[in-house]
Structures are given as structure tokens and as C-alpha cells.
Amino acid sequence: MARQATFSFSFITGALFAPEVGAVLPLLAEGKSWDEIAEAAEQDNLLKTRTAASRVRLLREIRYRLAALSPAEVKFAASARREDVHALLFIALCRHYAFIHEFVLSVLRPKALALDFQIMPADFSGFLYRESHTHPEIQRLTDKSTAKIRQVIYRMLAETGLVASTKDLRLTPLLPSRALARLIADTDPKQLRFLLLTDNDIRNLTT
């Protein structure tokens, strides 16, 4: 699935949603349709939501993300180790959301390659300023929305393992299993750059 040309911020409903995705993945890997998954989510409260509206909203967001994965990646994630699932979910986010894609590849990875591992407030604000010239949707954000976007992205990085925590924003490139690396390489090995890996790391993992 191609990422969105404009910046969508629907990801602010949560971070990785790893437990919720984990509840859906086995059904999807079995070949269940999204209608069947929605029915299971309603009948069994699969997603542990309190209201029907939150269930529908959450399932829609999960569907966006999992639609960015290939059938082989979905099958892999259904039984993979926790670290690989989180890495794959982050790659799915980068595939789907242009905002996250650009922030990772134009800000975070260059910092990591330069051995500048600390995320600073200016990294995010500078990215917003630069992108606002070509993305008017950024100009329409309120200060509260901007703060929420930053908070959720940092939570995603922490849950993936790319930073230690939302308090300790020191970047740590993530080394996936060779099985996951080769699976991603079947689509595009360059997408392993989302995990802040060097090109040499990527070659070593996929050859």
C-alpha cells in the first residue's frame, strides 16, 4: 500500500496498539475477512474497548496499518517474537503515514548515522516548520494537536524500542531477526532504514 500523499494524523488515537493488533492478527492470518473480524470484535470485545464508537475507531486504525503489510508479513507477525512484531508494526506505520515516514528518514535516521543519538525539541519543531511549506495541513494544527502528535510519535518509538522511553529520547537502531529482515527485503530492503539501520547493517542482514 502506498503511503498517503498528504499528512494524515489519525495515528494520534494511540501508539503501536500492539496488544490490540495481536488480538486481530491470528484471525487475519487465518483468512478471516474484516467484516468477520469486526463481528468478533463486537461479540467478544476482542479489542477490550468500552464503547462501540471506540471499537469502530480502533478497528479502523488497525486496519489501516495492517493493510500496509503483505500477506506473508501478516502470517509472520501472527507467530513472531514480540520485538519483531513491534518492528513490523512500526514499518507498517512508516509505510502508511507520510508524516511518520518523512520524520524517520529525514530527521531520525540521519541523526543516528551521524552518531547524534539524542532527540532534541528542535528536531521535531524544525521538521514541522520545513514540512509546513509544502503541507498546509500542518499549518492548520493547533498547539494542542502538535503536542499530541509529538507525544504519540515518541510513544511509538519507545514501544518499538527505538528509544529507551518517552523520557529518555536517546535513539537506538533496532536489529530485527534475519527472518524479518529478509521478509521486509522481499518488498524493499530500503524499508529497513525505518529501524535506523545503516545500509551496511541491511546488507549483512539480508544476504
CA-nearest of 166, 164, 171, 176 to 202 is 176
Instruction: Write down the mean pLDDT value for the chain.
Output: 94
Q: For residue 189, what are the contacts with CB-CB under 8 A and spacing of at least 6?
A: 202, 206
DSSP structure class, residue 44: S
For 31, 96, 111, 120, 207, the CA distances from 27, given in Å and listed in that order, are: 7, 22, 39, 40, 32
Judge whether 7 and 149 are in contact, CB under 8 Å: no
Question: Distance between CA atoms of 207 and 107, rounded to whole angstroms?
Answer: 27
**SS3 string of 142-198?**
CHHHHHHHHHHHHHHHHHHCCECCCCCCEECCCCCCHHHHHHHHHHCHHHHHHHCCC
pLDDT value, residue 48 = 87
3-state secondary structure of 97: coil
Question: Distance between CA atoms of 18 and 24, rounded to whole angstroms?
Answer: 10
Each residue's pLDDT tens digit, 130-161 = 999 999 999 999 999 999 999 999 999 999 99
Q: Residue-wise over 44-53: b if at least 16 C-beta within 10 A, else e?
A: eebbebeeee
pLDDT value, residue 145 = 96
Model confidence at 199, pLDDT cuts 50, 70, 90, reads: very high
DSSP structure class, residue 49: -
- State yes or no: pLDDT of 46 exceeds 90: no
Question: Distance between CA atoms of 145 and 46, rounded to whole angstroms?
Answer: 29
| Phi and psi angles of residue 67, each rounded to the nearest 5 degrees, phi first | -65, -20
What average pLDDT does this structure show over 68-94? 95
Each residue's pLDDT tens digit, 93-141 = 999 999 999 999 999 999 999 999 999 999 999 999 999 999 999 999 9
pTM of the model: 0.93
